[in-house]
Amino acid sequence: MSQLAHRDACYDDILVLPEHLVGEILLGELHTHPRPAPRHALAYSSLGYLLGGPFHGGIGGPGGWWIIDEPELHLGTDILVPDLAGWRRERLPTLPETAWFELAPDWVCEILSPSTARIDRAVKMPLYAREGVAHLWLVDPNARTLEVYALQDTRHWLLLDTLKEDDSARQPPFDAIAFSLGHLWA
């Protein structure tokens, strides 16, 4: 029985995708998914708004962060597109001139959907840990939950809290402010 030669995916594979697909290269494999559904998009847009003012803009909060929607991350041979990511400006004083980031973020948020949850948890979480991302949030708009994780070492995430419905969220690394989780669903 002959085996077909395996070729790792490359950036050109992402560039030729139709515009309605988001492409990522995870552990050498091309993964695609459609643009987010409305409930998914509402959750990350609302979260970006809630964190962007106080942390990105310093409006009613400490500032000092870049909060970016759907940044393209080039981390080694992996290309990831989290729903939201944040960098402390002390680590990333200016934005890159490229269309992507090569410095791992300090915080990542993935909005789970039925089509992406397995990849987000089983593939992307370990990659974020490998790259030293200190904080990870998983938002599930269908279950109306927020899971908050902190990196313990380069392989292990510690679940700090699980919030639901309209709980008050004051979670690291954005614990300088509180907001109602209900804003992500309505």
Give me the residue spans of the domains in the chain.
36-184
> Which pair of structure tokens corresponds to residue 70?
């759907």
pTM equals 0.90
Q: How far apart are CA 71 and CA 77, in angstroms?
A: 16
Tokens describing residue 167? 């709980």
Closest by CA position to 111, among listed 70, 152, 55: 70
Residue 89 and residue 58 in contact, taking contact as beta carbons nearer than 8 Å: no
pLDDT score for 6: 59
Count of CA atoms in the C-beta half-sphere (13 A) of 154 = 2
Interval 65-75: pLDDT, tens? 999 999 999 99
* Domain range 36-184, its CATH number among 3.40.190.10, 3.30.420.40, 3.90.1570.10, 3.40.50.300: 3.90.1570.10
Task: Identify the pLDDT of residue 37.
Answer: 83
> Per residue in 117-167, pLDDT tens?
999 999 999 999 999 999 999 999 999 999 999 999 878 999 999 999 999
Residue 88: C-alpha distances to residues 33, 52, 121, 127 (Å): 29, 13, 24, 20
